[in-house]
Every structure is written in structure tokens, then in C-alpha cells.
Amino acid sequence: MPHVLRYGIRGGMKMISGGMSKARPDIQISFNSGIEKKKLEYEDTFPDDLPTIEDVKEKYGTVIWCKYTGCKDNKEVEGLQRTSGTVLKNMAYEPIFDQDHIWTGICTRKEVAIKFDEVRTAGAKVKVPSCFTASSKKSGHVDFSQFLQSDGSPLGGNIESQHVSDDGYGGLDSNNMYGE
């Protein structure tokens, strides 16, 4: 008699060496969790090479704090962070969840454009500022050097290497096989 494996919601069988045994009767679910962010202190910090905000402005230009980590212009400088209270110039500002109010990424783009997007929430239209110049880390650039053979010639040959018998294939060729 052949071994048959059965699976079901209520339980099932699994093959083990030497025979069959009862599988766990419950559904197993696994969740892929993202990278856990380290908990940061709600305070302004500066790296040793950039001890003040003026030094940061001198190196990067106008400082634009940004949380869009998917943008290729977003950069995190080790040891550099600001708090929302400092950015708002309100030292009495105390957020409910301080981790959302710590700014670690800065935009390194020389020119930034901000636009307003209209967002509809519960029947109301709200204009929300968003970055017009944000771009993802994927450029769409194709590295054609990957298509070269070891001798430097293009993969698949080039136009000059086509065979004479290929004449007459194109519709504009006077020798085409369609007789037009």
C-alpha cells in the first residue's frame, strides 16, 4: 500500500522516518516581522565632526529632516538626530509617543520641491504637503556592461554580424519575402 500524505485544517498526517505520525491539529501561522528599530532617546544629538546645527548646514546646505527612508537622497548621519520640539522651537513640546518625533534622516538633495496632495478622510478633504522630488533607491538604470561576453563583444552579436540570408525580412527592404 503506497504512503499517502493528507493535510487539512483539523489535522493531518506527516511522513517521518519509519512510518506515519499525527501532525499538529492546529493551524500554524508565521509572521515575517520587519527590522526592529532601536529605541532612541528623545534628545538632540550631534556627531563629533558636526557639533552644531550650523556645521550640519555648512556641510549639507539647508537641513531638511525627512522620514522617507526609501528615497535615494535620504541619508542618516551617525549620531545626528533632532526632536520635534527643537524643530518646532518649542522646548515644552512633549509628544505622546516620542519615537515618532525623533528625526534621524536628512535630505541631501540640493533643490527640493514641496507640493500639496489632497487626501480624503471620513468625508473631509485635507491638503497634505509632500515631497515632489522624492525618488526611490531604484533608478531604473540598466547596466549594459552586464550583457558583454568575456571577450568584450555584445551578447547575441551586433547588427553588422547578421547573416546574408536575413536580407528580405524587413518590410522596407526591396528584397523582402512578401513581394511588396
Residue 153 lies in a domain: no
Residue 83 lies in a domain: yes
Domain count within the chain: 1
d(CA 178, CA 180): 6
Write out the residue range of the structural domain in which residue 80 sits: 53-131
Which is more confidently placed, 16 or 132?
132
The 3-state secondary structure of the chain reads CCCCCCCCCCCCEEEECCEEEECCCCCCCCCCCCCCCCCCCCCCECCCCCCCHHHHHHHHCCCCECCCCCECCEEECCCCEEEHHHHCCCCCCCCCCHHHHEECEEECCCCCCEEEEEEEECCEEEEEEEECCCCECCCCCCCHHHHECCCCCECCCCHHHCCHHHCCCCCCCCCCCCCC
Residue 86 lies in a domain: yes
Residue 68 lies in a domain: yes
Residue 74 lies in a domain: yes
pTM above 0.75, yes or no: no
Each residue of 99-110: pLDDT tens digit?
Answer: 889 999 999 888
Residue 77 lies in a domain: yes
Each residue of 113-162: pLDDT tens digit?
Answer: 888 888 888 888 888 888 888 877 665 566 666 677 777 676 666 555 55
Each residue of 55-105: pLDDT tens digit?
Answer: 988 988 888 899 888 888 889 989 999 999 998 999 899 889 988 899 999
pLDDT-above-70 percentage for the chain: 58
